[in-house]
Chains A and B, each alone.
Chain A
Amino acid sequence: MPIPFLKFPRLIQLEIFKQLEFTEIFLMSLCSRKVKNMIQNLNLEAGILVYGLLDSIVNVAVGPHEGLWQLQDFANFEHFESIPKNEMSLMNFEDNTIECSYKKEMMNGKELCIVGYHASEEETVLKSLQCHVSSLFRNKPYNLLMVASPSALARSAAISHLNEVRIIIEEPQMLDTSQLDDFMNFHPNLDGVQIMHPFTLPR
């Protein structure tokens, strides 16, 4: 028999949410609109939301503004060219119905649930993800984007209202100024940009 979570009085539901980690709260918010509304009533606050983009992976972490070392995982997504039929589920995600899969992976000694989606739905998923995550917090956290590959730089256009961006691409000759121009056109109102890349002068 399941534990009838929705039948608990509201205060007990809130007490249970207090025992969950951020990744669990996020996954609960994907269960249904009703549960998402409950989470919104928790009045969660965050100092900073960090969106990390690396090739096919999107990671969202949450923490206090002053301490990036105190970040906690919040959401993990990964795009695939295709999702096998037997792994496919439908997810209602901010008024969009998305075909997805759920994969469990060990990361830093913890098992994480990674939401898989079609690469062709990249823009919809990233926009919905940001909208969904932002809606779970009472305040407006500082939005930091960390980009770790040129392809991720192009994909980042779907994430908006950013305060700061850090581009960390270590391989030389992977980044040119036209890519950065495009990027800055997509994000014209940033408070700060940090770029870590071994640039070379034209010959």
Chain B
Amino acid sequence: MSVEPEVPIVQVEEVRENPVLYKIISSDNHVFTISEHAVKLSKTLWDLITNLGLTAENALDNPIPVENVNGKNMETIVQFCERHKYDEEEPEYTNYIREFVLPEWDRQLLSIDNEELFQLILATNYLDIQKLMDYCCRVIGDMAKDKTPEELRIIYGIPTDAEDDALERSASDSPGPSG
């Protein structure tokens, strides 16, 4: 069964050098095309494609529904994957702290408000795209630069110990579901 999209297909980037394209449908029924090299950056999508047995011949007739990711996030993700599809494989990180420079193009792509960034990270986690996860986490980590603990609490929405204790007390005081 093929799904007829009601919204226009978003052509993020024309891929001339690789004719194999896949269709992805977001939770709000936006349809995206993505090249094979790009889709491989998402472990979840590539596993799905492999398990469904999609090939160059039948890929476009079998759109892949991704119910956990909306069109806005999917557009960002497809842009990111197309941009980085030919990147060299990342070296294994040996140190605890991951050292890399966040490219300006990606910093621009991820210059979105905190609510959108939060949702994008959840989508990235679901689709298992390590490089985008690293980049998103770098953007969030950069928010901690030159900040005091008080400022960090505000930026990251971290309650104080006293607030945590008060929350716990009120949770234990409130009657449970059985009344």
Contacts and interface: CB of A to CB of B under 8 A. Distances in A.
A8 B121 contact: yes
A89 B162 CA distance: 14
A5 B157 contact: yes
A4 B119 CA distance: 11
Interface string B131-165: 00110011011111111111011111111110010
B6 interface: no
B147 A2 contact: no
B115 interface: yes
Interface in A3-40: 3-9, 11-12, 15-16, 18-22, 24, 27-28, 30-35
A33 B122 CA distance: 25
A28 B144 contact: yes
Nearest to B148: A102
B114 A2 contact: yes
Nearest to B149: A30
A91 B162 CA distance: 11
A121 to B, nearest CB: 18
A102 B149 CA distance: 8
Nearest to B139: A19
B169 interface: no
Nearest to A106: B146
A130 B141 CA distance: 25
Contact of A113 (B121, B137, B148): B148
Nearest to B165: A33
Interface of A: 1-9, 11-12, 15-16, 18-22, 24, 27-28, 30-35, 42, 44-45, 89, 91-92, 102, 104, 111, 113
Give the interface SS of chain B, mostly helix, strand, loop or mixed.
helix
B152 A27 contact: yes
Given A3-B114, A27-B149, A20 B155 contact: no
B149 A91 contact: yes
Contacts of A31: 149, 152-153, 156, 158, 160
A104 B148 contact: yes
Interface residues on B, range: 35 or more
A15 B147 CA distance: 19
A32 B160 contact: yes
A113 B146 CA distance: 7
A20 B140 CA distance: 9
A12 B137 contact: yes
A19 B138 contact: yes
A92 to B, nearest CB: 5
Given A18-B97, A104-B148, A3 B157 contact: yes
Contacts of A33: 161, 164
**Residue from A1, A18, A113 whose CB has the most chain B CB atoms within 10 Å:** A18
A31 B147 CA distance: 11
B147 to A, nearest CB: 7
B150 A24 contact: no
Given A1-B114, A33-B164, A16 B141 contact: yes
Contacts of A104: 146, 148
B86 interface: no
